[in-house]
Amino acid sequence: MEEQRPGLVATSSSFYPGFEQDPAALSLCSLQVLGEDASSMPFCPLLFPLTPTPAAPAASRSQRNCILRRRFRVETKAGMGSNGFFDSTNFFGAEEDGPNLSPFLRKLFKEWDDRKARGLFHHDITACETKVLPGEHNFVATLIEGRDQKKRPTEFGMNQVIQPFDGGKFNFTKVRPEEVIFRFQETDDASARYFDGASHTVSASPSAILINVSPIGYCHSLLIPRIQECLPQRVDQESFLLAMYVAREARNAFFRVGYNSLGAFATINHLHFQAYYLKVQYPVEKAPIEKLTVLRNGVSISQLVQYPVSGFVFEGGTGMEDLSQVVSNACIFLQENNTPFNVLISESGRRVFLLLQCYAEKQVLGKASQEFLDMRINPAVWELSGHLVLKRRKDYEEASEATLCRFLVEASLSGAEFQELKRLVLEFLASASPEE
C-alpha cells in the first residue's frame, strides 16, 4: 500500500475543482491565501518571448491590468528586425495560457499583482528594460537603476557561511502585514486546497510566502520556512524539501526557486528562498554537463562544462525526496566547511544546480577587479544562472557576453579549487548515500 504523504491545504470556501486529486500537487503544507475569492481570479502572465513581433503601441498601463505590457529587446548575432522589440502580450494572453497554469501559480500571480497595484514595491519591474545578449550563452540582462540603494542593507559579515540569528536586525517577522501572500500549514493527506480570507498576519504560521519588495522578475517572492522559529540562513533537509515542493507545485519550468547562502550574497540572515517567473531558458539550464557519478538511490551528479561558473547538477532518484536529500546534504557539507554556495531549483524540481563562488571573499581581500566593483553586480543565484541585474544604464547599453563571462569567471572558483572541492563533496555524498 502506498504511503500517505502530507498535503497542502488553505482557507475559504472556494476550491479548484479536481485539484485535490492531482498527483502533481504539493505534498507538504497548506496554503492560507490572503485575498479575494479564488473563483474569479484573473490570469497575470509574465513574459519573455524569444520570437520577434511588432513593437507594442505606446499604451498607458493601468495598475490593475493583469496583462502586463512589458517590452523586451532581444539582440542576436543576426539581428531581430528594424525595431528589435517584442510585445509579450501578443504571445502570452490570458485566454491562451490561463488554463495551463497551475492553481498555485494563478493564485500567486493574482496576489502579487494586487500588491503591485497597491504600490508596495520599490520599482515597477514590468517597466524595466531587459534584453537577451548575443553569443553562446544568451545571458539575460535587466536594468534596474539604483536597486542596490533601495534594498535592505546587509547587516552581517560576509566571511562566515553559518552565523547565529540576531533578532535585533531586520528579519521577516518584521515585514508589513500586506507583504504576506500565503501561509502554510501541514495536513495529513496528499491533497492540496486553496482558501481565501486568512488574516493578515504571520503570527500563527509555520511557513509563509512574501513579496520581494525589490523584485528582479515578475512575481518575485520569498519563501520563509517556519517563519516564527527565526532560523538563520542555513539549509536543513526539511526546509529544502519544502522549497522543492513549492517548485513542483508551480508545475511550470519558467518558475524557479533559488537560494543564496551567507557569503554568497544572501542579504538577510533569516532562512529564506526566492522565486520568480521569467519565460526564458536560463543560460545555466542549457549549459553542457559531464556526468560524474550515480548514487545508490539513483540520483545522478554531473558538473557544468563550458560555462563560466563552476557547479554541480543533480537529477534523478526514485522520487523528489531522494533528490532533495542529496542536494541538502551537499549544502550542509558546504555550510559546515564555510564554503559559500547558491542553489537553483529548476524544471519544477526535477533538476537542481549547486553553484560555487568566492566573489565576496575576493571583495574582502581586495582581489576583485575595479571594473566589476564599479558595476555593482552582486553575483547571487540568479546572476550565476545567467540573469544579471545591472544598475547603471552605461553598463546595460554596453553589456556583452564577453564582459559578463569575465565577471562570472572572476566570481567563481578557480579550476583547481573546484577540482578539490568536487573530490570532497563526492566522497561525502557517497558515504552519506543510503544502502540499497
Compute φ and ψ for 63, nearest 5 degrees.
-60, -30
78 — alpha (psi -120 to 50), left (phi > 0) or beta?
A: alpha
Strands 194-195 and 30-33 turn out to be parallel
pLDDT at position 185: 64
- Higher per-residue confidence, 26 vs 274: 274
What integer is the mean pLDDT of 414-432? 96
Cα separation, 45 vs 61, whole angstroms:
15
- pLDDT value at 109 more than 60: yes
* Rounded Cα–Cα distance for residues 341 and 34 (Å): 33
pLDDT at 328 over 60: yes
Average pLDDT, integer, range 401-427: 97
pLDDT at 96 over 80: no
pLDDT digits (tens, 9 = 90+) for 367-402: 999 999 999 999 999 999 999 999 999 999 999 999
CA distances from residue 294 to 202, 258, 350 in whole angstroms, order as listed: 41, 24, 15
Question: What pLDDT is stored for residue 151 in this prediction?
Answer: 56
**Dihedral angle over CA of 222, 226, 231, 236, nearest 10:** -90
120-131 average pLDDT score: 93
Residue 44 confidence (pLDDT) = 29
* pLDDT bucket at 148, cuts 50 / 70 / 90: low
What does the alpha-carbon distance between residue 84 and residue 80 come to, in Å, rounded to a whole number? 5
Q: What is the pLDDT of residue 359?
A: 94
Least confident of 41-50, 199-208, 217-226, 390-399: 41-50
Residue 309 pLDDT > 60: yes
The pLDDT mean for the chain works out to 78
Residues near 291 by beta carbon (within 8 Å), at least 6 away in sequence: 300, 301, 302
> What average pLDDT does the segment 218-235 reach?
95
Concerning whether 272 is annotated as a catalytic residue, the answer is yes
CA distance 201 to 386: 35
> What would the pLDDT profile of 230-264 be if each residue is shown by its tens digit?
999 999 999 999 999 999 999 999 999 999 999 99
HEC assignment per residue over the chain: CCCCCCCECCCCCCCCCCHHHCCCCCCCCEEEECCCCHHHCCCCCCCCCCCCCCCCCCCCCCCCCCCCCCEEEECCCCCCCCCCEEEHHHCCCHHHHHHHCCHHHHHHHHHHHHHHHCCCCCCCHHHCCEEECCCCCCCEEEECCCHHHHCCCCCCCCCCCCCCCCCCCCCHHHCCHHHEEEEEEECCCCCECEECCCCCCCCCCCEEEEECCCCCCEEEEEEECCHHHCCCCCCCHHHHHHHHHHHHHHCCCCEEEEEECCCCCCCCCCCCEEEEECCCCCHHHHCCEEEEEECCCCEEEEEECCCCCCEEEEEECCCHHHHHHHHHHHHHHHHHCCCCEEEEEEHHHCEEEEEEECHHHHHHHCCCCHHHHHHCCCCCHHHHHCEEEECCHHHHHHCCHHHHHHHHHHHECCHHHHHHHHHHHHHHHHHHCCCC
Q: Which residues pair with 183 in a beta bridge?
A: 32, 208
pLDDT above 50 (res 88)? no
Lowest mean pLDDT among 162-176, 273-287, 335-349, 414-428: 162-176
| Phi–psi pair at 434, nearest 5 degrees | -65, 150
Please tell me the predicted confidence (pLDDT) of residue 182: 86
Question: What per-residue confidence (pLDDT) applies to 274?
Answer: 98
- pLDDT level of residue 183 (50, 70, 90 thresholds): confident
List the one residue out of 16, 14, 65 whose CA is nearest residue 44.
65
**Catalytic residue of the set 137, 220, 270, 272:** 272
Q: What's the predicted TM-score (pTM) here?
A: 0.79
In this prediction, residue 223 has a pLDDT band, given cuts at 50, 70 and 90, of very high
Residues 254, 259, 260, 266: what is their CA dihedral angle, to the nearest 10 degrees? 90
Model confidence at 356: pLDDT above 90: yes
Higher-confidence position of 278 and 77 = 278
Most confident of 12-26, 120-134, 191-205, 421-435: 120-134
